[in-house]
Each structure stands twice: as structure tokens, then as C-alpha cells.
Amino acid sequence: MPSPQSSRRILTAAVCLVVVLAGPSGCASSASEGGERGEGGTLTVLAASSLTDAFGELEKRFEDQNPGVEVRQSFESSSTLLTQIQQGAPADVFASASEDEMDAAVEEGLTGEEPVVFVKNREVVMVPKDNPAGIEDLREIAKPGVKLVLAEEGVPAADYALEILARAEEEYGEGFENDVLSNVVSREADVRASVNRVVVGDADATFGYASDYTPDVRDRVEVVPIPPDLNIIATYPVATLEDAREPDLARRWVDLVTGEEGQRVLERWGFEPAA
């Protein structure tokens, strides 16, 4: 019969063996729960390219407020991001520059909680600082020889531009929209790419957002306002995703961008309050 000391040694060995065998799964469970409690984890955000600067600043704030958490963001056109989500790309949050893409995500059951419109944005015409085509107002982008760049069809900024041109046709006369579109020399992947073509001097004009007139480009581009009665106010919704790996962190991100602190940051980057 084993002595009490031997029994204790056998029990201790058995416990250690169980811990070793259960270690990987136990550690994985703890890591996952830790991410949800804010003790670590990686938050993945898919956001419209026009949010690059504002969300970049909010990323730093979020990581400071949630020690151990890493924020990874992908900025592309809203239509491209929607396709990625539909194809199963791992992500926790979707922020779109158009309600159309978000509505599609909702209809397909891809979102978690109800989307919230968190900011608005206005379209503008952007031209190089030296303005070689002499564009002073919206009407002048129809002049022969103007090199106009737009984002690809389906990108919200380009869709809004087409809506503006349709409205302007009624104001400026038949043929205006066709004249403008005949000046298009390139289609770019997203609005930031089309703005960059103007920044580097490859184009005479593009349609962008007020938020694209950022400090790093202001010495190289000028903004030509679009008449208010012709302009489009873009609304930006944000939502957690149904398959979010970090749902708690996703909710915290939405709380940040819709809260007072996030709204101040977004306004500083050229966005308008949703209300």
C-alpha cells in the first residue's frame, strides 16, 4: 500500500499531466476572453478610404485606452470592403462612406448590432494649386481638354459625383454631364487615389470629399466648392460585424467614433456631425 507521501506525489504528477495536456486549449480560451475584457486582442476595422486620417488618429487613442490591444485597419473603397466581407474576410467593424453598402451588409446578415450613422461629408472639386485648366467653378470642368479623374464606378465618391452632374445638367443645360464625362482620363480604385492624381499633377480636377483636403496636401491642391443646391451630403454608417472575433472591442470602437471624443477628432479632419 502506498505511503501518504507517495500518494501525494502521484496526485501531484497527475494534476501536472492534466495541465500540460490541457494547456494549449486552456491558454487559447484565456487569450480570447482576455481580448474581450480589454486585456489584449486585435481589433480589425474595415473603413472607407476617406476615413484614413481620422481613424488613424482614433486608432492611437483606442490603443492608449485599451492597453495590450492592437488595432489593424484596412482603408479602401466601401464597395471593395463590402465584397471582402461577403467573401469572409476576418473583420470586427465596417465603416462605410455610403448607406448603400451598409444596407447590403445588413440584408445579407453580415452585421452584428444595428448600424449607426456617425458623420456626414460633402463633395468638392479638387484642382492642382497652379490650376492649369483654370477651373474656378463646377461649370468649368466641362471645358474641352480638361483632364478629369474619377474613382471607379460603384465607389461612393464617384456615384455621388454622377448624382451631382445629373443635378447640374438641369442647371447648366443639356449636354453638360456628357461634356464632363468625356473629359474623364482615368478611373481610380478609391477616392484617395483619385485625389492623389491631382496632388501629383497628373490631372486637372477630381471629385473628392471635404475631408480629403488634409494638411499634407493643402500646399499642392485647391478646393472648388460645389453649389449647395447641387451638392450631395454623404452619410457614413458604422457597424460591428456578425462574425467579429472581438465583439467587445468592436463595440468599444463604435462607442469611440460615435462619442464626444471621436466626433471632435472627425470634425477636425473635415467631417460634419451626423445630427
pLDDT at 39: 67
**Would you say residue 2 has pLDDT above 70?**
no
- Per residue in 212-228, pLDDT tens? 999 999 999 999 999 99
Task: Answer whether 0.95 is exceeded by the pTM.
Answer: no
- Amino acid 9: pLDDT: 39
pLDDT band at 275; cut points 50, 70, 90: confident
pLDDT surpasses 50 at 75? yes
Q: Which residues make up each annotated binding site? A: 50, 78, 157, 191, 209
DSSP for 158-215 reads: HHHHHHHHHHHHHHH-TTHHHHHHTTEEEEESSHHHHHHHHHTTS-SEEEEEGGG--T
DSSP-derived secondary structure for the chain: ---HHHHHHHHHHHHHHHHHHHHHHHHHHHHHHHHHTTSSEEEEEEEEGGGHHHHHHHHHHHHHHSTTEEEEEEEE-HHHHHHHHHTT---SEEE-SSHHHHHHHHHTT-BSSPPEEEEEEEEEEEEETT-TT---SGGGGGSTT--EEEEPTTSHHHHHHHHHHHHHHHHH-TTHHHHHHTTEEEEESSHHHHHHHHHTTS-SEEEEEGGG--TTTTTTEEEEPPPTTT--EEEEEEEEBTT-S-HHHHHHHHHHHHSHHHHHHHHHTT-EE--
- Contacting residues for 202 by C-beta, under 8 A, at least 6 apart: 147, 149, 186
Q: Count CB atoms within 10 A of the CB of residue 184.
A: 15
What's the angle, vertex CA 273, arms to CA 124 and CA 166, rounded to 5? 35
Query: CA distances (Å), 20 to each of 17, 25, 30, 147, 214, in order?
Result: 5, 10, 15, 67, 54
* Residue (of 87, 110, 88) closest to 96 by Cα position: 110
Residue 237 confidence (pLDDT): 99
Question: What average pLDDT does range 160-169 have in this prediction?
Answer: 98
Q: What pLDDT is attached to residue 14?
A: 39
Q: What is the pLDDT of residues 13-64, one digit of tens each?
A: 333 333 333 343 333 333 343 444 446 899 999 999 999 999 999 999 999 9
Q: Which residues are annotated as a binding site for molybdate?
A: 50, 78, 157, 191, 209
CA dihedral over 116, 117, 119, 124, signed as positive or negative: positive
Domains and CATH numbers, the chain: 40-120+236-273 (3.40.190.10), 122-233 (3.40.190.10)
Q: What is the pLDDT of the chain when averaged over all its residues? A: 89
pLDDT grade, residue 112 (50/70/90)? very high
CA angle 127, 130, 133 (to 5 degrees): 60
> Which whole number is the average pLDDT over 167-190?
97
Q: How many CB atoms lie within 10 A of CB 218?
A: 11
